[in-house]
Amino acid sequence: MQTIRIRSFGLTAVFCAILAGCSEPQIDQKESEQLRPVRTLILSSQVDGPMVEFPAVVDAASSADLSFKVPGEVTELLVKQGEEVEVGDIIAKLDATDYQLSLDEAQANYNKAQADFGRAKQLIKSGTISQSDYDQLQSHFTSAKSKLANAQNNLSYTKLKASFSGVVARTYIERFEEVQAKQVIATLQDIKHITLKVNVPESLMIKVSKDAPKHIIAEFSGIPDKTFPLDFVEVSTQADEVTKAYEVTLSMTRPENYNILPGMTAKVLAKGADVNKSGLYLPINTVLKDASGNYVWTVSSVGDGKGEISKKPVVIGEVSTLGFPVLSGVSEGDYIVTAGMSKVSEGQLVKFNKGAQ
């Protein structure tokens, strides 16, 4: 009977030891479950910054209305709309018959006046002619020379040439049509480089700084998921009388694979004026304030799925579409608490997993 009691006591001791060994992990698990989970975000740089959108109209970098300097009948129209031309190429010609006759007459008068004046220079030396006769022959020669140059120019003006390399955007006359001097014959445009014109309201224009870094791009509705960088060209210093907006001109190289033409519309996106140099933005709801100033709650890992809460004072700029720009206080890669900020405190341990935020 004594042996049976000992064995019974031994089994009881072993069973208790097993229970004791199993209870400790359960306590640790319970403590882990009591840690409050927190929702966070990783602070990362926003390269593009807040963007302001403007409607824009495409225009040619250079545009010119070509016209003859003399009147006449158009005998040749050598270009078609949309045709590319090089500087100096002939666009159209006038009937040059009358201008050639005028040049021949001016040439004859010039030859005679030149000969008469040449003899006068010899005769004035010997006193054969008076000074007044000499002066008159000199005047005739000067006048004939001027008329010859004018006749030569008029004849050359019967050929209309391209003043720069570009595309004939439009023609306005037909062959054999009588045209007047200064009447527009064709419009020539340089569309290898195009400009975009936007109207900037006074409320935004007043914040523009010439020294601020510029990041301006264009988007076209017919070219999805693609943007084009723009360069600043000029800005008007006087507002439109009706809209009170200032016209800003931007330029870009015309892409070879897309037929972007003057008159088309586009969307210009410009980086707004901002004092933020870090490119970091805090969501509005994460920034709190007390007597010491603005602050956020951050979490740093202490291992084993745990994190420690820290209060970080921050200096922020004016709110933008991306939130508050960070001037100092937190850095890229910090974990910012985004929910339940009123229920955390300095040094508090929370449930935290870097891999799932």
Same domain, 248 and 107: no
CA angle 211, 253, 208 (to 5 degrees): 20
Q: Which residues of the chain have pLDDT under 50?
A: 1-30, 32, 211-213
Q: What is the pLDDT of residue 278?
A: 64
Q: Strands 36-37, 349-351: parallel, antiparallel or unpaired by DSSP?
A: parallel
Give tens-digit pLDDT for 54-88. 899 999 989 999 999 999 999 999 999 999 999 99
**SS3 at position 71:** coil
Residues 199 and 257 in one domain: yes
Determine the Cα–Cα distance for residues 331 and 320; give it in Å rounded to an integer. 19
- Judge whether 232 lies within some domain: yes
Asked if residue 181 belongs to a domain, the reply is no
For residue 21, tell me if it sits in a domain: no
Instruction: Flag whether 303 is in a domain.
Output: yes
Among residues 271, 294, 322, the one where a domain terminates is 271
Question: What is the CA 96 to chain-centroid distance, rounded?
Answer: 48
Q: Is residue 149 part of a domain?
A: yes
Q: Which domain holds residue 318?
A: 34-48+277-351
* Residues 172, 207: Cα–Cα separation, whole Å: 44
* pLDDT at position 14: 45
Q: Using CA atoms, how far apart are residues 239 and 245, in angstroms rounded to an integer?
A: 5
Position 28 in a domain: no
Decide if 134 is inside a domain.
yes
Number of domain units in the chain: 3
Residues 44 and 55 in one domain: no
Give φ, ψ of 13 to 5 degrees: -65, -45
Residue 12 in any domain: the answer is no
| 257 & 195 share domain | yes
Q: Does residue 251 share a domain with residue 109?
A: no
> Taking the mean position of all CA atoms in its chain, how far away is CA 218?
6
**CB–CB of 257/307 below 8 Å?**
no
Q: What is the pTM of this model?
A: 0.57
Of 234, 216, 231, 327, residue with least CA distance to 272: 216
Find the CATH number of the domain harbouring 195.
2.40.30.170
Quote the pLDDT of residue 357. Answer: 55
The predicted structure's pLDDT at residue 325 = 86
Do the Cβ atoms of 70 and 159 come closer than 8 Å?
A: no
The answer on 214 and 143 residing in a single domain is no
The owner of tokens 């590319």 is 84
**For residue 93, which of 1, 176, 31 has the smallest C-alpha distance?**
176
Whether residue 240 sits in one domain with residue 284:
no
Q: In this predicted structure, what is the pLDDT of residue 249?
A: 92
Same domain, 285 and 347: yes
CATH number at residue 149: 1.10.287.470
Domain boundary among 136, 157, 178: 157
Helices (H) and strands (E) in the chain, counts: 4, 23
Q: For residues 31 and 22, what is the distance between their CA atoms, to the nearest angstrom?
A: 15
* Last residue of one domain, picked from the residues 157, 182, 198: 157
One domain, residues 234 and 197: yes
Query: What's the CATH number where 289 sits?
Result: 2.40.420.20
On whether both 287 and 302 belong to a single domain, the answer is yes
